[in-house]
Structure 1
């Protein structure tokens, strides 16, 4: 029983952190969509659809992460096989989407790079001309999101931010461990109920 308790609380802590991260992602997406500094990007005729799509994806991903984190937390604490099963299915769905997005990104690498580069150049040129805060914020987010520091890899005057480390592999590994732990806990709960 000690091992089951350990897994139970590991799953709870993992999902609580996942829920907090989902809350942060949702808040970031909502902030980007409705903040006065970035809302101007959505209102013009030539507003970048890439940025708008990305913001809506952030909002949806944050909401999904919150639901998954909630199912994992409640399923672990209440020892509910139904909630843990739903949690596992959501994680499996997220894992499949990550793999599909990775494959799509690799197969369309040239087009994606071209679209992102064109969007960046347009945003950077507009920022140099207008010095709008919304464009500066967009450039800062691009730098953090793509782990870059300017159009040619050098720090530019418009946004001197520190580039973050890449996190793609860590997310994938964390998802796999979450799936493993949820199934271990589900099996342990089933065995303990069969034993009684």
Structure 2
């Protein structure tokens, strides 16, 4: 084979690849139809969407998590209410107060259900710190608190910066939305 034949074959192969990839990437995707909803299911979906819209949250999701899952929070059936369990509580030298607070969503900017969760875990963290230091929770002064955005759908992260009377501490609380159990990493400001 001479050079012109090889060049012609390479051109034909390249054009074939371009055409096939064009059909693949620019073809319309098949539409997946949603199952029919009953009137009651549609009404409940509307109430969650309306609630999310009133809170300024996109109706479908927040940080990749369904709004229904977040608004339900960490609620278990009332007959077997699960008390959040502390999984770990450890000093993390790499946790920097300034960087963490820079990326934190302020408490006032969070929806009401998220504020309730922040308050709940704040009380749990303060109780643990009070027990460890032997100081009353009433002596703590909360300086800042809020939430971090998470790319993991099953986790939420809450941040607390407070003075316990001797030291300024920052606590990053990682909550498992399935169980409500949590881990805490902390460092000094």
Task: Decide: shared fold, TM above 0.5.
Answer: no
Larger Rg: 2
Please state which band the TM-score falls in when normalised by the shorter chain: under 0.3
Higher helix fraction (1 or 2): 1
Question: Which structure has the higher relative contact order (CA within 8 Å, separation 6+)?
Answer: 1
Higher strand fraction (1 or 2): 2
Q: TM-score, normalised by structure 2?
A: 0.24
